[in-house]
Chain A
Amino acid sequence: MSDRSHGPLHGIWAVANRELVKWYKVPFIIGMSLVQPILWLALFGKAMNLGNLFTASSLQIPGLNIPSQVINEIGRDVMLRIFGTSDYFSFLAAGMLSFIVLFMSMNSGMTMVWDRRLGILNKLLTTPVPRSNLVIGKALASVIKSLVQATVVLLVAVLLGMQFGAGINPMDFLGTYAALFLLSMGLSSLFLILALRATSWESQMMIMNLVNMPLLFTSNSFYPLQMMPWWLRDVAMVNPITYSNEAARGLLLATPGVNIYLDFAYLLAFAAFFTGLLAVMARRMLSR
């Protein structure tokens, strides 16, 4: 045996790195996980562009001859007031960033179930990596995957015509990534907690499918809080995805009325709580 120094972060990167190596070995899966958000972008953002509802071509009332310019102006005004931007596609694109983060983060639990089923976990548990670092490494891998995928979604959105707010600067991007990082850390930890004792990937899949759509639709990913009935708005107000969306839109699209400090405070609390809980529970639950 050699006396190697084992700092408090020992093993986190090693564990994360393995997951990432496995990930980029299969480009097919990386591609597949992007299909969904990009489809949504194309479908909802382009084909069913809500902004079009308020443009001249769709609002021609026979007999009345309102100049199309006026209708367009009114439409812009309505959009701005509700969505905070005149372009629904950009609104949705910013929301899709959290969408892909949610989808990628959910998979963190699956890697746990697989490692247990295939016996790899038994090996990991006999190495000197603390249990908490083992799971945090897994969460970190999931965060990195999420952010890489979010970048791809962002690039595709830009290619499809996403418009950034006036005067955007690199700090806005950095801030957006920070918000997505916190969201992903919290979600990855949450799904890892659910998987700490799980042995069946079927039930893990069930949990994922049960949770993903509700989480998405009770957030402001598709339409703003102002358009929601009160009960849904109350639910959306606790959903962390609402806050990362707010942050992303405030920073990238310069939508007005965003309290960026509140968004970050909420996301930070969310991430810290679940990461902490994960570390504590891993120490307790990973030994029989």
Chain B
Amino acid sequence: MNPSRPSSFPGLRWQRDPLPGFGLGLGMTLFWLGTIVILPMVALVVRPWGEGLLSGLRAFAHAAHDGRMLAAIRVSFTSALLAAVADLVPGLLIAWALVRSDIPARRLIDMLVELPFALPTAVVGITMATLYGPNGWIGGPLARWGGHVAFTQAGIVLALMFIGLPFVVRTIAPVLRHLPRDVEEAAGILGASRLQVITRVILPALYPALVTAAGMAFARGIGEYGSVIFIAGNQPYHTEIAPLLIVIRLQEYDTQGATLIGFVLVGISLLSLAGIGLLRRHLSYGTD
């Protein structure tokens, strides 16, 4: 700050980072990210080309005409997207109940929210298939009204909603809890009705969290396997999801075909996540 005193290293100002062990921390982060995330990804990306460039290209050309694979990927993405968006409504309501209401079973609900994480996904799948099957508690009456959930895409979406719900609740609840109350009070004093406070003040403040929540549920839904296959019916071209097709290809000793599907899944997922990130950044302008 004193201009009359020249620095001993003009032009070179090394500022010590206030974090202790910054170098070590950075090294560890890169190491773990590398071994756990990046290395498998690289393997996945490299794999289709493992038998030569030509072979890889041929596999891609083949895949582009593989109707079953394209259908499976379409089923996976549309189901995950529908489930993620549909999860926002119950997720928001549950988060609201947990944070803002005084319902007696609050703690119990709080605990139950995590249940989909704790259960083996196969158990979820089997239970849902039984419940929503043609003779199940819910599926039976539903079938009489002409609604079919099990063995349709609706079943897939339902299973994914169950798996994705905790992400939504756990993403929204803390944001909701930390919304300043005086902002709502200010809106009320200015004449806004309760509904206007919710739609014009609270929800906009939650948009970024809602997008993040849906993004997480979506990402989880694309990869979900265990809970889906029991209720989906797994009809090729209709209710067969991409992860299942990967397993089938592996069982046919078609490793290249399997990794190819994985490759496409990763590509589309990354693009979707980037899009979600952009949207989130756009929506959170001013709030953080």
Do A and B interact? no
Interface residues of A (CB under 8 A from B): none
Interface residues of B (CB under 8 A from A): none
